[in-house]
Amino acid sequence: MEQTARKLNQQPRIVHNNEPEKKYIVQSSPYRSKMMKLFAGSMVWIGVMTTMVISANVKLTNAQLNLQDTTSKITKIQGSNTNMKQEISELSSKSRLSKIAKDSGLKMNTKNTRNVTK
């Protein structure tokens, strides 16, 4: 037991080193600074180009949507025009005009009739 007590009473040895701590100075090469600037510049350039590409894609998408909308409107108007032409043709048919004339007590004189088309 005495040996155990001695071990607990012993203090750890502190070694004093009188040598100064070595400091390492890393010298950067002249090319490293240039390479870092080149890398940073290329990153900025890539960011600018990416922004421009995304902006162009957004503008293209908007233009396509506007084109689709305009094409849709044109198709509706063409359909409406076709329907109106059909209605005009039906309303101005010779059989309809003859019926209206007969109902009104009028007679059709074919000598004085002209067909006008535009």
Q: Residues 39-87: pLDDT tens digits? A: 999 999 999 999 999 999 999 999 999 999 999 999 999 999 999 999 9
Burial degree of 18 (CB within 10 A; 0-12, 13-18, 19+): exposed
State both tokens at 82: 């076709």
Alpha carbon distance 101, 57 (integer Å) = 64
For 5-19, how does the pLDDT look when each residue is reduced to its tens digit (9 = 90+)? 555 556 556 655 666
